Amino acid sequence: MATRQEVLDWCRENLQVNLFKDYAPNGLQVEGREKVNKIVTSVTASKAAIDFAVEQGADMLLVHHGMFWKSEPLTITGWKKERIETLLQHQINMVGYHLPLDAHPEWGNNAQLAALLDWESDYQCGDQNLLNVGRLKTVQTLQQLSEGMADKLQRQPVVVGDMKREIKRIAWCTGGAQGFFQTAIDEGVDAYVTGEISEAQYHLANECGVAFIGAGHHATERYGVQALAKAIQDVFQVEIYRFDEQNPA
């Protein structure tokens, strides 16, 4: 068993939270009990994830997508009130790490996606070094690459490009990072992978000849929080439970 503050201090130091300029708070977002023995992980602090944490008797809900985003209203009403009320009633700490978890070289979403799909990362670039540039270990066609991703991620990706084209150099950033596509193009890759696609990326892919793969925001970001929780478990000997839901976005 650990204290809440011990877990928070360890995460802050190892994720290097202070290096990131984020648009959501990183760390403790809703305070619960002081002692932590059971942790539930989830991509998002949804009501379903919170209810699962209650069922497990968890002391902490550890997520990638927390609450209190800069773009949201400041008032605590409706769905936000229901989530927070449940957390407070059951004294569950809700802890979220956003960009620091995307970027971590071992536990991060980008690193974990590469490990799952057997990609090699050569370097990071772009805003806050969130874009990874690397290569496939063996040359594949875009068709083969997309089929392999669909199998591993359990979700059919959106693919724009010549399905017969050979892919060797690749760039990726999990989640909603379609805005990095031009940076990936400038790095000279054959394909760019992220979670979401917007209207503009269809045209860029066709006009620049670089394939675009939107593999799912949720699907590409399942693995970082699980890796972080495993590291916490190794240090503090706490129990870990995983919550997942088939979010198609």
Instruction: Split the chain (249 residues) into runs of 10 and give each run's mean pLDDT.
Output: 96 98 97 98 98 98 96 93 98 98 98 98 96 97 98 97 98 98 98 98 98 98 98 98 95
207 is in an annotated binding site: no
221 is in an annotated binding site: yes
List pLDDT tens digits, range 164-182: 999 999 999 999 999 999 9
Give the CA distances from residue 162 to residues 135, 145, 206, in Å, rounded to whole numbers and listed in that order.
18, 12, 9
64 is in an annotated binding site: yes
82 is in an annotated binding site: no
Give the chain's domains with CATH numbers.
2-102+221-242 (3.40.1390.30), 117-220 (3.40.1390.30)
- Of 221, 218, 159, nearest to 190 (Cα)? 159
Report pLDDT for 1.
82
218 is in an annotated binding site: no
